[in-house]
Amino acid sequence: MTTLESSRSALRAPMATASLAVLCAVSFCHLLNDVMQSLLVAVYPILKHEYGLNFWQIGLLTLAFQITASLLQPFIGHFTDKRPVPYSTSIGMGSTLIGLLMLAYANSYAGLIVGAACVGIGSAIFHPESSRIARMASGGRHGFAQSLFQLGGNFGTAIGPLLAAFIVLPRGQQSIAWFGVIALVGMVILWKVSQWATSARGKSVNQLRTVGLIHSRQRTALALTVLALLVFTKNVYMASVTSYYTFYAIHRFGVSVQASQLMLFAFLGASAVGTMLGGLFGDRFGAKTVIWFSILGCLPFTLALPYADLNWTIALSVMIGLILSSAFPAIVVFAQELVPGRVGMIAGIFFGFAFGMGGIGAAVLGVVADAKGIDYVYQICSYLPFLGLLTVFLPSSDAPECDNVKKG
C-alpha cells in the first residue's frame, strides 16, 4: 500500500462517523447564500429599467460581484488552510447582508456596484471554508459530499429568479431587503456548524498535510491549468444564460418578464439536478469520465439552441443545464485529489478565480450584445464546449508518480 493510500484510509476512518446533519446544514446554507447572490442577476430587468442601464453596465454589475468573489477566494482558502478561522462563514453571511441592504436602498449606479461587491466578498469568505467542512463530513465519499454541497447552491440559484418574479418584481427594488432575514438565519446555522468543524479539524488537517503530490509538479500544474480552463468554459456559457437569458427570451419570443424568469428557473433547476448526478457518477465511474461526458455531451444542444423555437429553446436549455453542470463536482474533487491538504485553496480557485473569469466573460458578452445583438451572443457561445477536448491532457489515473509518494 502506498503512503498516499494509507493516509487516505486513515483519514476515512474517523470521517465515516461524521454527522450527515452537518453536511446537510452546510448544503442548506449554500442554498441560502446562493439565493441571495442570485437575486442580483434576477432583478437585472428592474435595474435596467429604473436606472436606464445598457447591457455593458449590466455586465459590469456581474463583473463587480464575480471579481470580488473570485480574486479573494484563492487567497482566503490558502490562508485558512494554514490558519483556520472557525467562524469565517458567519462573517461572510454578514457581508452578504450588508450587500443586500445596499442593493435595496441604493439611489445610484455606484451604490449598486458597491452592493454587488459586498455580496461578492461574502461569497469569497463563505465558499472555501464551507467546501472544506463538506469534505470533512464526507466519510470518504468526496464526490457525493461535493455534489450535495453544490446542490444546495444550485437550488438556491434556481430559486432566486422565482423569488424575484413573485416578490421583488411586483414590490420593487426595496423588497430585496426582506431577504436579509435569510442571511441572519444562515449566520446562526453556520455558527453552530463552525463549532463542530473546530472540534473535528485538528486531526483531519494534520493527516491531509502528511500526503504529498500524487503526480509530478509539472503534470499537476498542467492538470490544474486544464481544469481551470474547463471551468472557465463552463462558467462563460453559464454567464451567458444567467445574465442574458431573460433578455434573449423577451427579445426573441416576446414573452413576459415573469415568463422569462420561469424559463431561467427551468435551466437553473436542471443545473441543480445535474450537479447532484455529477458527484454520484464521479464516485462510481471516475471524475475524468464525468468531465468528458459533461463538457462535450452538451455540445449538440448548445449548437442547436440559437436556431430553436420557444418550446425547443426551453427543452434544449434544460438539457444543457443538466449535462453541463455535472462536471463541476468532478472537477473540484479531481483537483483536490491532485493537491492533498490544500482543500481551501483549491476550492477558492475553482469557486473563485475561474468563476470570476466567467464574470469577465459576462462583461465582454454584454459589450458584444450591445454591438451585435443578443442573438449573436448565443451563436458564438454555442461553440465553447469544444474546449472540452482539453480533457485529454488530464492524468488518466491517480497512480503515484512523485518521489515523495513511496511504496509502503
Tens digits of residue pLDDT in 119-176: 989 988 888 888 888 888 877 777 788 888 888 887 787 787 778 778 887 887 888 8
Q: What is the pLDDT of residue 108?
A: 87
More confident: 303 or 407? 303
Highest-scoring range by mean pLDDT, 1-15, 207-221, 290-304, 308-322: 308-322
Q: Is the pLDDT of residue 267 over 50?
A: yes
What is the arithmetic mean of pLDDT over 19-33?
A: 88
How many Cβ atoms are within 10 Å of 112's Cβ, its own excluded? 24
- Quick check: 245 pLDDT over 80? yes
Joined grid coordinates for residue 174: 426595496
Sequence letter at residue 198 = T
Beta bridge partners of 2: 407
Q: 338-382, pLDDT tens digit by residue?
A: 887 777 778 777 777 666 666 677 778 888 888 999 899 999 999
User: Computed from CA positions of residues 152, 18, 204, 396, in that sequence, does the dihedral angle turn out positive or negative?
Assistant: negative
Q: How far is CA 158 from CA 129, 143, 236, 376, in A?
A: 23, 22, 18, 25
With a CB cutoff of 8 Å and minimum separation 6, the contacts of 37 are 65, 96, 119, 123, 156, 157, 160
Helix, coil or strand: residue 307 = helix
Per-residue pLDDT at 14: 44
Nearest to 116 by CA among 153, 63, 180, 56: 63
At residue 398, does pLDDT exceed 70?
no
How is the chain split into domains, by residue range?
3-393
Euclidean distance between CA atoms 30 and 17, whole angstroms: 23
pLDDT for the residue numbered 355: 65
Q: Is the pTM of this model over 0.75?
A: no
Given pLDDT bands bounded at 50, 70 and 90, which one contains residue 17? very low
pLDDT recorded at residue 354:
64
**What is the distance between the alpha carbons of residues 333 and 339, in angstroms, rounded to a whole number?**
10
- pLDDT for 184 equals 92
C-alpha cell at 160: 432566486
Q: How confident is the model at residue 390 (pLDDT cuts 50, 70, 90)?
A: confident
Q: What is the largest CA-CA distance in the chain?
A: 66
Q: What is the Cα–Cα distance from 141 to 280, expressed in whole angstroms? A: 9
Task: Name residue 205's amino acid.
Answer: V
Q: What DSSP designation does 172 have?
A: -
The pLDDT tens digits of the residues spanning 271-327 come to: 888 888 887 888 788 888 888 888 788 899 999 999 999 999 999 999 999 998 888
In DSSP notation, 45-106 reads HHHHHHHT--HHHHHHHHHHHHHHHHHHHHHHHHHHHHS--TTHHHHHHHHHHHHHHHHHH-
Res. 113 pLDDT band, cuts 50 70 90? very high
Q: Which CATH architecture has domain 3-393?
A: Up-down Bundle (1.20)
pLDDT at 217 over 70: yes
Q: What is the pLDDT of residue 5?
A: 44
Q: What are 193's three cell numbers?
A: 456548524
C-alpha pair distances (Å), 238 with each of 245, 332, 361: 10, 17, 10
Average predicted confidence (pLDDT) for the chain:
80
Please choose, from the candidates 350, 62, 65, the residue with its C-alpha nearest in 3D space to the C-alpha of residue 228.
350
CA-based R_g, the chain, Å: 21
